[in-house]
Chains A and B, each alone.
Chain A
Amino acid sequence: MAVVSAETAGIRTTGLTKSYGSVHAVRGIDLVIAPGETVALLGPNGAGKTTTVDIFLGLARPDGGTVFVFGASPTEAVRSGWVGAMLQSGSLPDHLRVRELVTLLASYYPHPRRVDEVLDQTGTADIAGRWTNKLSGGQAQRVRFAAALASNADLLILDEPTAGIDVEGRREIWRAIRAVAERGKTVLFATHYLEEADANADRIVLIARGEIVADGPGSEIKAKVGSRTVKATLPGVELAELRALPGVLGAERHGEAVTLSCSDTDAALGALFGSFPAVRDVEVRGASLEEAFLELTGDEHGDQDAKVEASRPGNEEPG
C-alpha cells in the first residue's frame, strides 16, 4: 500500500468512532485511501460499513476522530462536487422519469458524464422513459447507480451497489465501476459479498463490529489466515505436536483425520512426512477467501448479531 499524505489522500481517517446510544457502530477506524484506488469495505450485517460511509459523505457526524476527503472536510468535498454517492437505502422521487432523474443528478456536478452514455452503461436506456416510482426493485437500484455514475466525481462511494440486482445487471455494474476506476477515479464500495470484493477491488478492508480486522489485497487476507489446508489420516498423534510443526498455524482432529491450516504448506508437508511416516491420504486444499472472511469476522466476542454472509444468496431486497 502506498504511503499517502493527508493532502493527496482520497480519504484519510484516524480514530473514527460513532455510537448510536449504546450501540458502538464504529469504534476506531484508521484508513487511508489513495486517489485512484478501488477499495471494498467488506463486512457482515451491522459491521459499521454504512455508518462509516455516511461519515465520509458528511451525512453522519463522528463522535471522535478525523476525516479528510481530498484534504477537505466531507461536507466541503461534497459541496465542491468531488464526491458522487449511492446510498444503501432510499427510493426515488416521484413525478420524474428515469432520464430526467439522471439528468437532474448530473446537473449538480461540475463535470458530469453524458446522460445517454450512463444510461447505456447501466442497462437503463430501455427504461429511460419510465416513471421512477414505477420501477422494479432492481431497476430502481440500477437507476440509483446510474445517478451516482453520472456525477463523474473524483470519488465514488457506493453502499452495496448490486444489492437486489440480477446476474446480468451485476456484471454491467461492475464493468461500469471498473471503467470508472480505470479513468483514475477513486472508488469505495461496501459489500458483504466476497467474490465482489475480491474480483473488483484493489484492496479489501474487512470490518467487523465497527473495527478493521484486515486490510489488504484479497490474496493477502487469505495469507493472513493460513493460505492452505492440509488434510490427512493420522491416528494417535497429539494435536499439540502437529501445531508445533513448521508452517502450521492450527490443527483439528475429526476421528482419525486431522486438518492443518498452514501458512507455508511446503514446509508443513515436509515436516509432516518427516516426523510421521504413518501419515496417509494427504490432501492439500486452498483455503477460500470465504474461510478467511469467516475466520476474521467471526464470533470472537460472543456478539450475537455478527452473522456472516459467506456466499451470495439469490436476489435480495436492497435496504
Chain B
Amino acid sequence: MKGTIHVRYEILRSARNPLLLGISWALPLVVFYAVAPEQRHALADCLTAPNGHGMTDCVSFPLYFMTAMAAYGAMWATIAPGARIARDRGKGWIRQLRTTPLRARTEAVAKVLASYLGALPALVLLYLAGVSLGVRLDAAQWFEMTGLLLVGLAPFVAIGIVFGHLVPPDAITVAEAGFVVILALLGGAFGTLFAGGVMLRVVKLLPSYWLVQAGKTAIGSGSWPAEAWIVVGIWTLCSVPLAALAYQHDKARV
C-alpha cells in the first residue's frame, strides 16, 4: 500500500532518537524505582471526602506512582515527534517533501502512529515495574487503564504537531519540555498537589490530571467520570484542528 514506507520510516526515525528513549522510557523508570520502594505500603492520591472529614479515593502508592510515571513518559513520547517536525522544517526537508506527492493524510497517520508507538514502551515498562512492587490488577483493569491513557494522550500528539510547525527549531526542545513538565507537575505526576479546593478544580481541567487518574480504575469506581471525558474531549477537539491549521500554515508559507 502507498504510504506504508513513509509510515515505517517515520516510526524508525522516532525510535532512533536516543533522547526519546532516555527521557520517555528510562527516566520515568529510574524515578519510579528511586521513590516507590520506600513507600510500597503507603496510600496516595487521596481526595477530601465529600463531607469534608477524612480522605477517600486513595490508591496504593506504587499503583499511583506507576500510573503517574507511565503518563509522564508517555506525554514525552507523544509530544516528541513534534521536535522532529521542527528540525525537518529547519533543514528545509518539509519544503522538499512538498515537492513530492506525499499526502497530508499519510503524514498525519505516520505522526500519530509514531507518537503512540513511542508511548507504548513507556507504559509497558512502568507496568512491569509496578508489578514488581506489588501492583495487582485484573486483565480488564489493565486494559481499561491503558485505553484511558491512550485516549488522554491524544491532545499531546496534536500539540506536538502544533509546536513542530510553529516553534522555531532552536526553541522546540525548551517549548516541549516546559509544556510537558508543567502539565505533568500540575496534573500530579510528581505527587498530588491538591486534595480539594479551587486549585483541584483548576487542575482537573488539564488532560495530564486525568492521565494520572487512569490508575483509579483499580479501585472499583472504575473508569473516568464524565468530567474526565469532557475535559479530554475538549482538549482533543481543540488541539486536533489546531494541528491541522499549523500544518496548513506551514504548507502555505511562501
B16, B91, B254: which contacts A92 (Cβ < 8 A)? B91
Asked if B144 is an interface residue, CB under 8 A from chain A, the answer is: no
Query: Is B16 within 8 A of A95, CB to CB?
Result: yes
A81, A90, A94, A96: which contacts B101 (Cβ < 8 A)? A81
**Which chain B residues numbered 80 to 100 have a C-beta less than 8 Å away from chain A?**
87-88, 91-93, 95-96, 98-100
Query: Is B99 within 8 A of A78, CB to CB?
Result: yes
Instruction: List residues of chain A with CB within 8 A of the CB of B6.
Output: 104, 107-108
Q: Which residue of A lies closest to B252 (CB)?
A: A61
Question: With A59-B95, A107-B5, A108-B6 in contact, is A95–B100 under 8 Å at CB?
Answer: no
A107 and B3 alpha carbons, distance in the complex (Å): 7
Question: With A60-B254, A96-B9, A104-B9 in contact, is A85–B88 under 8 Å at CB?
Answer: no
Asked if A5 is an interface residue, CB under 8 A from chain B, the answer is: no
A-side interface mostly: loop
A147 and B102 alpha carbons, distance in the complex (Å): 14
A103 and B99 alpha carbons, distance in the complex (Å): 16
Instruction: List residues of chain A with CB within 8 A of the CB of B17.
Output: 95
A95 and B9 alpha carbons, distance in the complex (Å): 9
**Which chain B residues numbered 85 to 139 have a C-beta less than 8 Å away from chain A?**
87-88, 91-93, 95-96, 98-102
Question: With A93-B91, A95-B17 in contact, is A108–B102 under 8 Å at CB?
Answer: yes
Q: Which residue of B lies closest to A80 (CB)?
A: B101
Interface centre among A59, A84, A95, A105 (most CB of B within 10 A): A95
Asked if B201 is an interface residue, CB under 8 A from chain A, the answer is: no
Query: Is A59 within 8 A of B101, CB to CB?
Result: no
Query: Is B100 within 8 A of A78, CB to CB?
Result: yes
A-B contact pairs, 20 of them (CB 8 A): A58-B98, A59-B95, A59-B98, A59-B254, A60-B254, A78-B99, A78-B100, A81-B100, A83-B99, A85-B96, A90-B91, A90-B92, A90-B93, A90-B95, A93-B87, A93-B88, A95-B12, A109-B101, A110-B101, A147-B96
Instruction: List residues of chain B with CB within 8 A of the CB of A104.
Output: 5-6, 9
Asked if A87 is an interface residue, CB under 8 A from chain B, the answer is: yes
B residues lining the A interface (CB < 8 Å): 2-3, 5-6, 9, 12-13, 16-17, 87-88, 91-93, 95-96, 98-102, 254
Q: Which residue of B lies closest to A151 (CB)?
A: B100
Q: How far is the CB of A72 from chain B (nearest CB, A)?
A: 13
Q: Which residue of A lies closest to B3 (CB)?
A: A107
A110 and B98 alpha carbons, distance in the complex (Å): 16
Interface centre among B17, B87, B99 (most CB of A within 10 A): B99
How many residues of A are in contact with the other chain, CB < 8 A?
32
A residues lining the B interface (CB < 8 Å): 57-61, 78-81, 83-85, 87, 89-96, 100, 103-105, 107-110, 147, 151, 157
Question: With A59-B254, A108-B101, A108-B102 in contact, is A87–B96 under 8 Å at CB?
Answer: yes
B2, B93, B101, B254: which contacts A78 (Cβ < 8 A)? B101
Query: Is B100 within 8 A of A92, CB to CB?
Result: no
Known: A87-B92, A90-B92, A107-B2. 17 other contacts (CB 8 A): A58-B99, A59-B95, A59-B98, A59-B254, A89-B92, A90-B93, A92-B93, A93-B87, A94-B13, A95-B12, A95-B16, A103-B5, A104-B9, A105-B100, A107-B5, A107-B6, A108-B102
Q: Which residue of B lies closest to A61 (CB)?
A: B254
Question: With A59-B254, A90-B91, A104-B6 in contact, is A95–B102 under 8 Å at CB?
Answer: no
Nearest first, the 8 A-B pairs at minimum CB distance are A90-B92, A107-B5, A85-B99, A95-B13, A95-B16, A81-B101, A108-B100, A91-B91
Q: Which residue of A lies closest to B18 (CB)?
A: A95
Query: Is B101 within 8 A of A79, CB to CB?
Result: yes
Question: With A59-B254, A103-B5 in contact, is A93–B99 under 8 Å at CB?
Answer: no
A191 and B13 alpha carbons, distance in the complex (Å): 34
Q: How far is the CB of B177 from chain A (nearest CB, A)?
A: 19
B2, B16, B96, B254: which contacts A90 (Cβ < 8 A)? B96
Q: Which residue of A lies closest to B17 (CB)?
A: A95
Query: Is A100 within 8 A of B9, CB to CB?
Result: yes
Q: Which residue of B lies closest to A18 (CB)?
A: B254
A85 and B102 alpha carbons, distance in the complex (Å): 13
A79 and B87 alpha carbons, distance in the complex (Å): 24
A105 and B96 alpha carbons, distance in the complex (Å): 10
A80 and B103 alpha carbons, distance in the complex (Å): 10
Q: How far is the CB of A147 from chain B (nearest CB, A)?
A: 8
Q: How far is the CB of B96 from chain A (nearest CB, A)?
A: 6
Query: Is B93 within 8 A of A93, CB to CB?
Result: yes
Q: Which residue of A lies closest to B100 (CB)?
A: A108
Instruction: List residues of chain A with CB within 8 A of the CB of B92.
Output: 87, 89-91
A90 and B6 alpha carbons, distance in the complex (Å): 20
Q: Which residue of B lies closest to A148 (CB)?
A: B99
A108 and B107 alpha carbons, distance in the complex (Å): 11
